Structures are given as C-alpha cells and as structure tokens.
Structure 1
Amino acid sequence: MNTIGWEAFSKGNRINIGISLLVIILGVIFAGDIPRQGDHFGFWSVLPPLVAIVLAFWTREVVSALFVGIALGGVISGNLNIVQEYLIPSIGTEDFALILLVYLWSLGGLIGIWTRTGGAQKFAAWASDKIVRGPKTAKFFTWLMGLIFHQGGTISTVLTGATVRPITDKHGVSHEETSYMVDSTASPAATVIPFNVWPIYIGGLVVGTIPMFETSQDGIAFFFSALPFNFYGIFALVVTLLFAWELLPWIPGKKMRAAIKRAKETGKLDRDESEPLAATELTEMKVPDDYQPGLVDFFGPIGTLLGIAIIPYIVTFYIMGQEDPLLMIAEAFVLAVLVGMFLALSKGMELKTVMEGFIDGCKGVTIGAIILALAVSLKSVADSVGTAAYIIELVGDAIIPAALPAILMLLCIIIAFSTGTSWGTYAVVFPVAVPLVWAVLPDPFFLTVCFGAVVGGAVFGDQCSPISDTTILSSLATGCDLMDHVYTQAPLAILAASIGAVLSTLMVVFFV
C-alpha cells in the first residue's frame, strides 16, 4: 500500500491489523504451549472477548476487533487454522442460515423493493393527512412512524426520517426534536416490538451458553419472555411519546430546550452556526416514471409480515395456551418479500427493476451479516477456551445479585457507546453474561431481568454514540447537525436509562 493509501486508512484498522500480525507471530511461537486448567486456560481464557471489547472500545472499529479476538483464541487453544476450526463451523450452521435468510435477504430486500414502489412513502403521506394538524401531531406522527417502521437500526431511521421530515419541517418542528424522535424509536422500538430479526440474532448468540438454551428457538422464546423487562426500550418509547405530545413536566437538557424555543419563536429549524448533514441520498426514491405508488404497495408486504408473524403466535399462545407458541418470523419475512414483488409486477413494474431494488436492499445490510459471522465465531472461540467457565470460577461468588443487572447495563452502555453498535456489543457480552448470571443465581426470573438489562443497555449506548450508524443516519435523514443531535438527545435517553437501571435493581431486590 502506498503512503497516501496507508495514511488514508483509518487509525483503528491500522492498529487492529498490527495486533493481528502480532497475534499470528505469537501463535507460531506459543501454539499449543498454554496449559489447560480443567475447563479453561486460566486468565488466557478471558483474553479473546476481552481483547475484542478493548479494541472495539479503543479503535471504534468492530469487525477487525472481533477478528483479532478470534485469532487470539486460536493461539490460546492451539487451533491456528481459525477458518476451519471456528469460522466455517460457526457460519455453516442452520441457525446462522436462518439469520442470513431473514436479515440479509428478506428484510434488506423488502426495504429495497419499497425504494422502487414508493409504498412506504405513500403510506406516510396518506397517514399524515389523517393525523397531522400542527406541531404536536407532527411530532406524534413521527413517533408513530418509528413504531410502524420498527425493524430497527439504519432501516428504521432512514424510512422514518425520510418520510416525516417534510411534514415536521412544514409545521416548524426543530431538526433536533425530529432527529431525537427518529433515533429513539428505531432500535428501542425494534427490541420492544420484536417481530423482526432481533430475537433471531440474539437467540443465536445465546445458544449453548446454559442448558436452558439448547437451540436458537429456545433463545428466541426467552427473548419474548424478557420483553417486559427491557426497561430502557420501554421507557425510551414512553419518554419520546410524552416529549412528542409536550407532556413532560420538564425537558432535560439545556440545548434541547433552546432548540424548541428557537423553533417556536423564530421558525429556525437549526441553530445559526450548525452544519446540517445533507440527506438527499436518503430522501430520493428510485420509483420508475411510469409506476403509480399505492397504499397496497405498503400494506400488502407489511400486512403479510405482521399477520403471519403475529396471528399464529396469538392463537397458539393466548387462545390455545401452548407453552411453545408458533412464531413464524422467517416465513413471514420471506412471504412479505414475495408479496411486495408480486404487487410491483402486477402493477406493471419490470422484473429487472424489482430485482434491482431487492439486490440494493440486500447490499445495504451486508455489514450486519459480516459482524454476525464474526460474532458467532467469537462465541465458538469463547466456548473452546472456556471463557465463561473461568469467569464463573473467578467472580461468580463475589457478585451481589441485586447489583448485576445495573452492572451489565452499564458495561453494555460503555461498549456500545464506544463502538457505535448494539449488535457488536451483544456479540461480545451475551456469550459471557448469560453463564455468569446463571452461576451467580440460577433463577429464570433473575436471568430474565439481567437479559433485559443487556438488551436495553446496548441499545442506549448505540443510540447516543456519535459514531453509531443510527445516530448519523438520524441526523442525515432529518437534516440535523450531527453533534447537535448527540447533545440534545443524550439527556432524554439518560432519563429513560436511569429509570430502567433502578427498576432492574428493584426487581431483583423484591422478587428474587
């Protein structure tokens, strides 16, 4: 690589590549020489996930940090062929294939199809005509769109932000307010209304961590049982709703109060010195000139998605009383994509255009699939070197159960804020946290509370991080200055997180 190219390469990547080379050299020298102590390698066992966490924190680059952790695990275990020993066995599983099918092809593809049919934007325009009458209802409409486009992360922020911005601008809502509501109803909503890929992803991470989670379906079912204890996700939505209706008795954050006052008194949607991010790329749809978008382009796929995912679950769980309810998330996503394609074709769109939209959507979520592949591989490494066994042996008896949910939540906040990714945080925390919680107190209710704390903590850190894709895209889609968005939403998010941490602690104190 030439000098210019190397200088342009990010500092985080250069650091992680250097450490990777060091790990490889150490592997050649020490492979197989580290003694195993029963189920683990002593302190060496904690290094793969610890190094991955520290590097992600330090360099703010998750992909290479995860790879370094995997390579280090290969050195410790003596399995230097990490591709054959860890990567291929981890990603060549039925569980990983399911996540890939739903997340990469179905969810991404559906969003891509909507960029060609204009269905989501058509629905938003129709709904705004029915709901919006002024600034309050414009903000409520933004909150509502965040829940409807509840798939989480970049998808929610792009869809919600691009569709509500013209409406909130028209009614004089500051860009700081709009970007906060878009961001706070993206990932939080995805974890509270989880008829999406989130339970499948997390379910895959906890498989095999304790006897309760023998299959990914066990993990998915537990995710649903823990929904009432994802206190940050719940209160993030509640605080945002109260904010939208202007019902909060006091708005935390001087900068947000100044933004609201400025918009009301002067009509300025940004402060004078701000540098709003351009959002043209996110607001432009690629609908063919001869195609007429309709509500059916939205309601057809989304109705199929929610109907097939929710109705069987309600019937088998609430009506038939089955302990193992039928949850058809994968089938629902695949059929939703097919319905979207069929509707577009039946209305005259060319097959080539439909498939281009589908492929573009798949491309947009590829990075998530890469992180997932490395995450499940790091989990296999942690199992191989006995990470959980060592941590449990070391600190399992020293932790006060009542403090553990808040500790885990704070840990996830720090990691997610520093790396800008909730999914990457789940990848390095869940495989260690679940067995640790079970060792501290083998109680399903205690595990449920701690599980919810991890889910919510990672989302909070991701949402507030200035390097998070959702934070950046929320600013882009709403035309807000990035740091103005960061500074104004943080106090409101901290309010929701503080309530969540206190409730988690009280749940353990009084009910465990």
Structure 2
Amino acid sequence: METMGFISVIPAILAIVLSFITRNTVVSLAVACIVGTLCAGQGIFGFPTLLQNSLGTTSFSWVMLLNTFIGILVAYFQKTGAIQGFSQKVHEKNLSRKGAQLMAWILGIFIYFSDSFSPLFVGSVMRSITDKAKVSREKLAYIADSTSAPVSVLMPITGWAAYLMGLALGVGCIETTEDAASLFLHAIPFNFYPIFAVLFVGLIATGIVKDFGPMKKAEKRAVEEGKVIRDGATPLIGKELTEMQPYPGIRQRVFLNFILPVLVIISIALGTYIAFDSAKTMEAFLFVVIIMTISMMIQGIPFKEVMNTLTDGVKGAIPAVMLLALAYAVNELSSEMGTANYIISLTENFLTPHMLPAIIFLVASIMAFATGSSWGTFAICMPIALPLAFSFTDNQMSLLIVASFAAVAGGGVFGDHCSPLSDTTVLSSTGAASDHIDHVKTQLPYALVCGGLALAAYFIIGILFI
C-alpha cells in the first residue's frame, strides 16, 4: 500500500481545522489544497493541475450538473409560486415546532432514491415552514442530512446498494449478483449507524430526546429571538434563490408546478433503476427542467422572464458548486498521497475476528471523515475488509462477513456525515440555507452519539456472537 505517511493526512486535517477556526470553508479548502500540493512535491503549479485533474471527472460533472439543475428547479418552483402555495397550505394547518420537524423527517425518508436530491429538496421545500415554526436552519440542515445518505444506504433499490453489492461481488464465496444482493439484505439489520441516525432524528423531532450541545443554543436563539440563523452567518445558497418572488399574477398551481415535477423525477429515477440497473437521476432533472420551461411560458410567463429565472437558479447554486469543487480537489489530493492507506496501516497489527467489525467501522469512519467521501471509502475499504473477514472463516459466509460488510457501509456514512468536506453535508447546508460550519458544528454531537452507539454494537456483536 503506497502512502506518504503522516504527510498524507495534513491537507485533510488543515482543511477541517481551518474551517472551524475561520468559518470560511472555501478559503480553508483552498489553503489545504495549496499546502498539500507543496507537501506532495508538486511545486507552485501543483494547485491548478490538481483542480484540472479533480474537476475534469465524470463524478464531479455529475454532482455539479445535478446541483445546478436542482437550483434551476427551485427557482422555477418559486417563480411559479408553487413552493409558496405548498407552504401556504401547510401554514394553514399551523404546524407546531414538533410538527414541522416531523414533516421534514418524513419527507426526507420518503425521498430516499438520491442522497444528493434529498437534502436539497427537503431543505428548499421545508425552509419557509420551519422558519415560521421558529426551527433553526441548523436543525433543518441536520434533519435533511440525516435522512439522505443514511436512508439511501439502507434501501436495496438505490445506487448505493448497487455500488456496495458490486464491490462485494467476486470476493470469497460471493460469486453471483444474487449472492451480493443476499449479503446486502442480511447486512441491513447490522448497518447500525444509519439506523440509529434516522431514528435519532425522530427522537429529537418529537422531543423524546432533548436538544443538546450547539444545537440547543441554535434552537434557543430561534425560539427566543426569532432568528433562524445566527447574526453574521453566511447561508450556503445565493440570494437569487432565497429572495425570489413569484411572477406577478401567476396562478399558484401546486400540483402542476410542484407535485407533478417531483413525481416525474421520482418515476424516471426509479423506473430507469429497475429497467437499466442505474437510476438516471440527473437526466430526470434535465427532462423536468425542459418541460417546466415550456410549461411556464404556456402559463403566461414571458420567455425572457423564464430565462432570467433559469439564470438566477444557476447563480444560486454557485456557492455550493464552488465548495464542492474544492472538496473534490482535497479528496483527489488525499487519494494521490495515500491518506486512506496510511489510516488502514495504523490498524493492521491489532485486527482479530472478535474486534474486526468494530475496527473496520472505526477505520472507515476516520477515512470518510478525512476524505469527505463515503463512496471513496467503500471503494478502498471493502476490497480489504471482506477478504480479511473471509480469511477468518475459510471463505464461508458467516455473521463476521455480514457484520464486516455492514461496518464498511455504516462507517463510511458516519465519517462522511461528520465531515465538512462531504458533498451531502454541503448540499444539506445549501438546501436549508444554513451556514455550512454552523451545520457541521451542531450536527456533529448528534452524529457522534449515533456513531458511538454503533461502535459499541459492533463490539458487542464481535465479543458475544463471533
């Protein structure tokens, strides 16, 4: 395993520490990239080369376009008065703080097919509702974040499931897609972190578990001062989207301009997954953007106004795209420097069958936190964790294999969930129009509680049943 040793973790550590100190994630990531390229011996021109290599990828293009299309759709929803109309219908029910949080929780669980769309959709739709109920933007971002990837990784009909099953295929006795699917299904009850994370949101929303830590302070500010976002905070979304008003005289057709487009996106995404084994989420958004552009003109909005709205949607997505670009650059740099391999090498000497699931969960968590990538963590950890587990079972399927598979999946989501470098964390801040670092700071204690419980569960499983 090639690695530059401790030097390989410097960019990630620098980015995370500076983000908390300066509260400016863009500057922190840029500094981390520059310092990292110098540490890697790439010279003064290393940073532009890094950007070129990391941003000129299919992965970044996909998330950038998806984020842009969602920004356009949010702008369309607002210009047609659809979100305002939907929010008004909800406002008429006078939802309490508890009711608003529970609605966001349920909505997040329902939109499980895409961890990228879910936090943006939940945040955009629920923002005015939770604002009226005096729920802080930090709490909305937490709810949106904790019902995106944690739900997606538990569902057997998502891209997450297909990806994880693909990584397991051909390892040990997992010889067919049916074997891989069976492993995924058996691992669901042992994927402790996502389960705890989703349930914990419900407990927090209902008040069964009281807010604590920085989130308690944020909620107190929202309730007592009516400030859903702190003074001096920088919402991770352009004003083009947060301050857009409906076109004068437009009739609020909630079903036509909001519910129907969302149903079309869900239908295309799920339909293409069933038909082609790949959810065409980005293509679904592009199709709906085209259809809504035509529909808005038919409804009487001038072509120039529609184009201005589209442009505002793109502008509103720029803050998140900038942050994602630099996060991808740090991830690429970590990959080049062997950050993941270094973290794994630190744990090799004390791996035993009883400790294996817990250690795998811990390593995957640290790796995902340092790189901001759960899928990257899966790709590196799964080919190491599963063969290691099979070596203890003579290539036979057992609880150790199932728990190890689940530990990789859960650990990757946990670390990614905590990391300010994660794309889903960024998108949650964007959807809720929350300050990004405020979202990370308030969510972190809740994620650590669930992560600690998951780690304890893997220790118990290992000691008692393996």
Q: 2:361·2:408 contact (CA, 8 Å) conserved in 1?
A: no
Query: Secondary structure at the residue paired with 1:251?
Result: coil
Per-residue displacement from partner, 1:51-100 (whole Å, max 9, x unpaired)? 3333334433334434544554566xxx99969997766655xxx32x34
**Which of 269, 272, 276 is equivalent to 1:309?**
269
Corresponding position of 2:67: 107
TM-score by length of 2: 0.67
Corresponding position of 2:203: 242
Amino acid at match of 2:64: L
Q: 1:91·1:377 contact (CA, 8 Å) conserved in 2?
A: no
Corresponding position of 1:188: 146
Amino acid at match of 1:496: C
Corresponding position of 2:300: 348
Q: 2:268·2:281 contact (CA, 8 Å) conserved in 1?
A: yes
Query: Secondary structure at the residue paired with 2:279?
Result: coil
TM-score by length of 1: 0.62
Q: 1:305·1:333 contact (CA, 8 Å) conserved in 2?
A: yes
TM-aligned CA distance change 1:88 to 1:102, over 3 Å: closer
Work out whether 1:327 is the aligned partner of 2:297.
no
Work out whether 1:164 is the aligned partner of 2:116.
no
Q: CA deviation at 1:307?
A: 0.9
Per-residue displacement from partner, 1:154-186 (whole Å, max 9, x unpaired)? 7357415522234414xxxxx4xx446413322
**Which of 36, 39, 52 is equivalent to 2:11?**
52
Identity of aligned residues (%): 17
Amino acid at match of 1:333: F
Per-residue displacement from partner, 1:469-512 (whole Å, max 9, x unpaired)? 5787798659xx959x956x665444433333233444555676
CA distance in 2 between counterparts of 1:209 and 1:379 reads 24
Work out whether 1:338 is the aligned partner of 2:299.
no
Work out whether 1:288 is the aligned partner of 2:251.
no
Q: 1:140·1:244 contact (CA, 8 Å) conserved in 2?
A: yes
Corresponding position of 2:84: 122
Corresponding position of 1:19: none
Query: Secondary structure at the residue paired with 1:287?
Result: coil
Query: Secondary structure at the residue paired with 1:285?
Result: coil
TM-aligned CA distance change 1:496 to 1:86, over 3 Å: closer
TM-aligned CA distance change 1:297 to 1:348, over 3 Å: same
Q: 1:403·1:505 contact (CA, 8 Å) conserved in 2?
A: yes
Q: CA deviation at 1:104?
A: 1.3
TM-aligned CA distance change 1:470 to 1:303, over 3 Å: closer
Query: Secondary structure at the residue paired with 2:152?
Result: coil
CA distance in 2 between counterparts of 1:370 and 1:277 reads 22
Corresponding position of 2:106: 144
Corresponding position of 2:415: 458
Corresponding position of 2:406: 449
User: Map of 1:225-240 to 2, 5 A cutoff?
Assistant: 230-240=191-201
Corresponding position of 1:374: 329
Amino acid at match of 2:120: I
Q: CA deviation at 1:360?
A: 2.1
Work out whether 1:268 is the aligned partner of 2:229.
no
CA distance in 2 between counterparts of 1:158 and 1:252 reads 20
Identify unmatched segments of 5+ residues in structure 1.
1-39, 170-174, 317-323
CA distance in 1 between counterparts of 2:65 and 2:71 reads 10
Q: 2:272·2:278 contact (CA, 8 Å) conserved in 1?
A: yes
TM-aligned CA distance change 1:394 to 1:203, over 3 Å: farther
Q: CA deviation at 1:458?
A: 2.0
Q: 1:138·1:168 contact (CA, 8 Å) conserved in 2?
A: yes
**Higher Rg of the two aligned structures:** 1
Query: Secondary structure at the residue paired with 1:365?
Result: helix
Amino acid at match of 1:381: E
Q: 1:184·1:237 contact (CA, 8 Å) conserved in 2?
A: no
Corresponding position of 1:363: 318
CA distance in 1 between counterparts of 2:213 and 2:246 reads 42
CA distance in 1 between counterparts of 2:317 and 2:183 reads 26
Corresponding position of 1:62: 29
Identify unmatched segments of 5+ residues in structure 2.
20-27, 172-176, 391-396
Q: CA deviation at 1:449?
A: 1.7
Worse overlay, 290-299 or 390-399: 390-399
Q: CA deviation at 1:340?
A: 3.3
Query: Secondary structure at the residue paired with 2:133?
Result: helix
CA distance in 1 between counterparts of 2:183 and 2:310 reads 33
Amino acid at match of 1:56: A
Q: CA deviation at 1:187?
A: 2.0
TM-aligned CA distance change 1:292 to 1:158, over 3 Å: same
Q: CA deviation at 1:135?
A: 4.4
Amino acid at match of 1:304: V
Q: CA deviation at 1:277?
A: 5.0
CA distance in 2 between counterparts of 1:164 and 1:472 reads 16
Worse overlay, 392-401 or 109-118: 392-401
TM-aligned CA distance change 1:133 to 1:114, over 3 Å: closer
Corresponding position of 2:450: 496
Q: 1:413·1:460 contact (CA, 8 Å) conserved in 2?
A: no
Q: CA deviation at 1:302?
A: 1.6
Higher normalized contact order (CA 8 Å, seq sep 6+, divided by chain length): 2
Q: CA deviation at 1:306?
A: 1.0
Amino acid at match of 1:238: L
CA distance in 1 between counterparts of 2:324 and 2:421 reads 23
Amino acid at match of 1:300: L
CA distance in 1 between counterparts of 2:64 and 2:100 reads 32
Q: CA deviation at 1:224?
A: 7.9
CA distance in 1 between counterparts of 2:109 and 2:289 reads 20
Q: CA deviation at 1:191?
A: 0.6
CA distance in 2 between counterparts of 1:222 and 1:301 reads 34
